[in-house]
Amino acid sequence: MFRRILIIGILLGCTVASWGQSAKSTYRLRVEDMLRVQVYAKPELTTEGPISQDGTFTASFLDPVQAEGMTVKELIASLTTLYADKVRLRDPLISVVIIKFREMRATVGGYVQRPSTYPIRQGDTIISLLNQGGGAVPDRADLRRATLRRKDSRELIPVDLYSILYRNDTSQNYEIFDGDELNVPEGQNLTIKVQGKVMSPGIYPYKEPMTLADAISTARGEVSGRSRLSQTMIIRERTGQPGQYSYIKADYVRYIRSGDVTQNVVLQPGDLIWVPETNTPDVSYISGLANVAYIIDRFGGALFGIHLFGN
Residue range 179-236, pLDDT digits in tens: 999 999 987 778 889 999 999 999 998 887 899 999 999 999 988 888 899 999 999 9
* C-alpha span between 200 and 190 (Å, rounded): 19
Residues 98 and 34 sit within 8 Å (Cβ to Cβ):
yes
Torsion 136-138-143-149 (CA) sign: negative
Q: Indicate the domain borders of the chain.
A: 2-100, 105-184, 191-304
Confidence band for 294, pLDDT divided at 50, 70 and 90: very low
Count of C-beta atoms within a 10 Å radius of residue 7:
14
Give the per-residue pLDDT at 140. 83
Helices and strands: H and E segment counts in the chain: 8, 15
CATH class of 105-184: alpha beta
Quick one: pLDDT band at residue 46, thresholds 50, 70, 90? very high
Fold agreement (105-184, 191-304): yes
| Separation CA 236–CA 217 (nearest Å) | 20
What CATH number does the domain located at 2-100 have? Answer: 3.30.1950.10
Superfamily name and number for 191-304: Outer membrane lipoprotein wza domain like (3.10.560.10)
Output the CA angle 90-92-96, nearest 5 degrees: 165
Least confident of 59-63, 85-89, 264-268, 306-310: 306-310
84, 104 in Cβ contact below 8 A?
Answer: no
CB 23, CB 30: distance < 8 Å: no
pLDDT at 187: 79
Residue 296 confidence class, pLDDT cut points 50, 70, 90: very low
Cα–chain center distance at 197? 40
- Of 239, 235, 240, residue with least CA distance to 195: 235
